[in-house]
Structure 1
Amino acid sequence: MARGRKPHDRGDGLLARLRRDPFAVQTVRSAAAATLSYVVALQLSREPVPLTAPLTALLVVQVTLYSTVTTSLRRVNSVVVGVLIAIAFSAVVGLSWWSLALVILASLLIGRLVRVEEFIPEVAISAMLVLGVTQVSDTAWDRVLETLIGAVVGMLFNLLLAPPVWVDTAGESIEDLARRMRLLLLDVADEFTGAPPVEQAATRLHEARRLDNDVADVDRALRTAEDSLRFNPRVKEGLLHRVVLRTGLDTLEICAVVLRVLARTLTDLAKHRGGHQLLPEQAALAIRETAQYTADALVSFAVLVTTQGSEDAEAAETRLAGELRAARACRDHTAARLLALALADPGRWQLYGALLTEVDRILDELDPEHRGHRLMEELDRQGRERSDRRRRLVLRDRRNTRRPTRTDR
């Protein structure tokens, strides 16, 4: 019976992974929305093959509802502007090489003025397609109608079948980043226990520099998660989720920079030692133990940031606090060892001090109290920005309201 369940289990695991994959979900949703918009356009448009509607739906349906709404508005705006430009040119001049050049130039310039962003070429495309037909007005408004059909179907598709909230996917990316940083920190600490050549130490430095690419990948996943929390009726306290994840990634990014500096210190120390033992055994073991607790704290911090349940968050915070206490105790023991080395060999005291400084920076960034202050500051900043936007809107409405004149009174 166990053998009979294995394929089913693998199938369930594959299906679960596909549901958590933004690309797979986006592919299915885009295909369904494009097909549905084509069926609707066949009933409403006079074109025999209204392909503009499924094309618009394909471009409009995004991974998140927020992206879908903003993309729909820009897409419709770009098509309408392009059609109006084509109608204006067709009333004055016909289609020739110079009029086509003027249409393209005017469409690109006006597209930038109306701020359609990535759909600026769509303004010129719509104008050229409409200008190249005989009955300009009929084709123009058919194209506008098909664009509206695709945009409306795409927005309704995401409103009725709300896209997933990608918080879990972003959380997994943050935890994976923390685990890679943990492994790198342990590898760097291992180098201090031996006599690595400069080339081997430089390899660790290159690995630390590659963390920038990992941070960029996680940032993209987090942006998708942040957009999925906007305009989503299933999400409560979306602002809090966004701020918690964003500040957590900012902390890990700072720790990644410190890791790069730590790897640079390792490379400099390897150059000074010239193939000899970098540190005495007791000092090297003290650094190794400090790095072990610090590396574990990185993962515990990531788990704390991405955990949504209150009980799990309390357990993660307790574990993080214990690891930070152990890391600081080991750090103090390491400081005593390195101080003795600096007194015996003053020529390398700055490298020993740099090791302690870099460890202190990581521990300070992971401290829950420090994180609490940053979280409150970010929430206050978001609140001030919202209040400022609301105040500007109120002032704008007051300026636009016509003051009563003496005749009106």
Structure 2
Amino acid sequence: MPEARSATGRLASSIRRIRSEPAVTQTLRSTAAATIAYAVALWLSSEPAPLTAPLTALLVVQVTLYSTLTTGIRRVNSVVAGVLIASAFSVLVGLSWWSLGLIILASLIVGYMVRVSEFVPEVAISAMLVLGVTRVADTAWDRVLETLIGATVGLLFNVLFVPPVWIGTAGASITDLARRMRQLLIRMGEELSDHVPVETAAARLYEARRLDNDVAEVDAALRQAEDSVRLNPRVKEGLLNRVVLRTGLDTLEICAVVLRVLARTMTDLARERDGALFDPEVGRSLQELLGHVADALVSFAVLVTSQVSESAQAAEDRLAGELAAAVTSRERTANLLLDGVRHHPDHWQLHGALLTEVDRILDELDPAHRSRRLMEELDRSAREQREKYPRITRVRQWTSTKRQRHTAAR
């Protein structure tokens, strides 16, 4: 029985993990929308196999509502433009090598004219497909109808069945990145009092450099999360969520860069010294300092990704405690390194670099620095919103003024 319950728990956990994957959700949603579009096209179109409708629905249904209303609409424009071009060519000329060249040229030119951005090639692809399967103008117009059916079904599908909000997935990615950085710092701290070959120190440097790839993956997940909260009725504070996560990732990215510089400093020390990097007492102090910094990174990530106020307050308290312990450990380590400079005066620059890099990470994780950066980003986003949509801003100001006057009249 315990084994059965354990297996059931693992199965349920696997199902939850699969359902949380954007690729799985997108696959199921696209399949459903394309099937519905085909059924509607069979009912409204005279074509026996209206495949253009599910094709358009597949192109329109995106992983977020915002991308559906932006990327999806551009894709619809590209398909419709291609079908219209093919309709005109089906009336004037047949399909030959020179007409194919003309339709590709005309499609690409029209694609740039209708501003479908990255979907310009899809105008030519749609035109070639339609011209290849039909030579009759009436049938080509049926393709236009199928395209409009697929586009309408795709848009309504994402409006009625709003895509998930991927804030949790992006938050988990940010936390995982902080934990990987923590593990690297812990390993670096454990080697400070031992004999560290240059190859081992260089391996840590390569690990730090690979964090750039991790940051890029988290950035992609965060961009998807940012799109998922735009125009999404499930989210009340979309701008705040986007800015909090984005500034948090920016901070971790800066810390990853500093961590790479720290690993380079360790590698230079290993190259200069034939033996342990530091005396045992200095090594233990530095290990303690890096441990506090590592824990502060994870506490910062938890604070950034906390959605509940109580959890955020607990994470902020843990972060403040880790930063306070790190500052205390930093002062003790600085005094020990100063004494070590008297024995190794040639390496004073590397000792100073270690403290400078640790100071930079602590400064980036400081709650006051984060609050200031958060307010700056919120002000910048609000200003850009006002400049981009001045009419909406004026309507909001007018509505707010009327509400205030109505409240004062009461």
Unmatched tracts of structure 2, length 5 or more: 395-410
Q: Kindly state the Cα deviation for residue 80 of structure 1 after the two structures are TM-superposed.
A: 2.0
Matched, 1:368 2:367: yes
Distance, in Å, in 1 between the alignment partners of 2:92 and 2:392 is: 40
Q: Kindly state the Cα deviation for residue 94 of structure 1 after the two structures are TM-superposed.
A: 3.9
Q: Kindly state the Cα deviation for residue 295 of structure 1 after the two structures are TM-superposed.
A: 0.3
Distance, in Å, in 2 between the alignment partners of 1:222 and 1:134 is: 43
Give 1:383's aligned residue: 382
CA RMSD of the aligned region, Å?
1.8
1:8-407 matches, within 5 Å, as 8-132=8-132, 135-273=135-273, 275-391=274-390
Q: Quick check: 136-145 or 149-158, which moved more?
A: 136-145
Distance, in Å, in 1 between the alignment partners of 2:377 and 2:342 is: 44
Q: Kindly state the Cα deviation for residue 84 of structure 1 after the two structures are TM-superposed.
A: 2.9
Distance, in Å, in 2 between the alignment partners of 1:324 and 1:45 is: 67
Q: Kindly state the Cα deviation for residue 88 of structure 1 after the two structures are TM-superposed.
A: 3.9
Distance, in Å, in 2 between the alignment partners of 1:360 and 1:333 is: 14
C-alpha spacing 1:37/1:88, structure 2 compared with 1 (3 Å): closer
Amino acid at match of 1:310: S
Partner secondary structure for residue 192 of structure 1: coil
Q: Kindly state the Cα deviation for residue 87 of structure 1 after the two structures are TM-superposed.
A: 3.7
Q: Kindly state the Cα deviation for residue 394 of structure 1 after the two structures are TM-superposed.
A: 9.3
Sequence identity (%): 67
Give 1:402's aligned residue: none
Distance, in Å, in 1 between the alignment partners of 2:259 and 2:6 is: 42
Structure 2 contact 87–141 (Cα < 8 Å) conserved: no
Distance, in Å, in 2 between the alignment partners of 1:74 and 1:381 is: 28
Partner secondary structure for residue 210 of structure 1: helix
Q: Kindly state the Cα deviation for residue 56 of structure 1 after the two structures are TM-superposed.
A: 1.4
Q: Kindly state the Cα deviation for residue 230 of structure 1 after the two structures are TM-superposed.
A: 1.0
TM-score by length of 1: 0.92
Amino acid at match of 2:17: R
Structure 2 contact 182–294 (Cα < 8 Å) conserved: yes
Q: Kindly state the Cα deviation for residue 216 of structure 1 after the two structures are TM-superposed.
A: 0.8
Structure 1 contact 66–231 (Cα < 8 Å) conserved: yes
Amino acid at match of 1:367: D
Give 2:399's aligned residue: none
Partner secondary structure for residue 384 of structure 2: helix
Structure 2 contact 84–144 (Cα < 8 Å) conserved: no
What is the number of equivalent residue pairs in this alignment?
394
Q: Kindly state the Cα deviation for residue 265 of structure 1 after the two structures are TM-superposed.
A: 0.3
Amino acid at match of 1:261: V
Structure 2 contact 33–54 (Cα < 8 Å) conserved: yes
Structure 1 contact 133–139 (Cα < 8 Å) conserved: no
Q: Quick check: 343-352 or 251-260, which moved more?
A: 343-352
C-alpha spacing 1:147/1:92, structure 2 compared with 1 (3 Å): closer
Distance, in Å, in 2 between the alignment partners of 1:59 and 1:212 is: 32
Amino acid at match of 1:109: I
Partner secondary structure for residue 232 of structure 2: coil
Q: Kindly state the Cα deviation for residue 315 of structure 1 after the two structures are TM-superposed.
A: 0.6
Q: Kindly state the Cα deviation for residue 243 of structure 1 after the two structures are TM-superposed.
A: 0.4
Distance, in Å, in 1 between the alignment partners of 2:339 and 2:72 is: 66
Q: Kindly state the Cα deviation for residue 118 of structure 1 after the two structures are TM-superposed.
A: 3.4
Amino acid at match of 1:147: T
Distance, in Å, in 2 between the alignment partners of 1:386 and 1:101 is: 44
C-alpha spacing 1:191/1:113, structure 2 compared with 1 (3 Å): farther
Q: Quick check: 256-265 or 6-15, which moved more?
A: 6-15
Q: Kindly state the Cα deviation for residue 147 of structure 1 after the two structures are TM-superposed.
A: 1.4
Q: Kindly state the Cα deviation for residue 190 of structure 1 after the two structures are TM-superposed.
A: 2.1
Distance, in Å, in 2 between the alignment partners of 1:94 and 1:8 is: 62
Structure 1 contact 130–136 (Cα < 8 Å) conserved: no
Partner secondary structure for residue 193 of structure 1: coil
Q: Quick check: 17-26 or 284-293, which moved more?
A: 17-26
Distance, in Å, in 2 between the alignment partners of 1:305 and 1:189 is: 26
TM-score by length of 2: 0.92
Structure 1 contact 255–362 (Cα < 8 Å) conserved: yes
Q: Kindly state the Cα deviation for residue 115 of structure 1 after the two structures are TM-superposed.
A: 2.5
Structure 2 contact 196–270 (Cα < 8 Å) conserved: yes
Distance, in Å, in 2 between the alignment partners of 1:159 and 1:8 is: 35
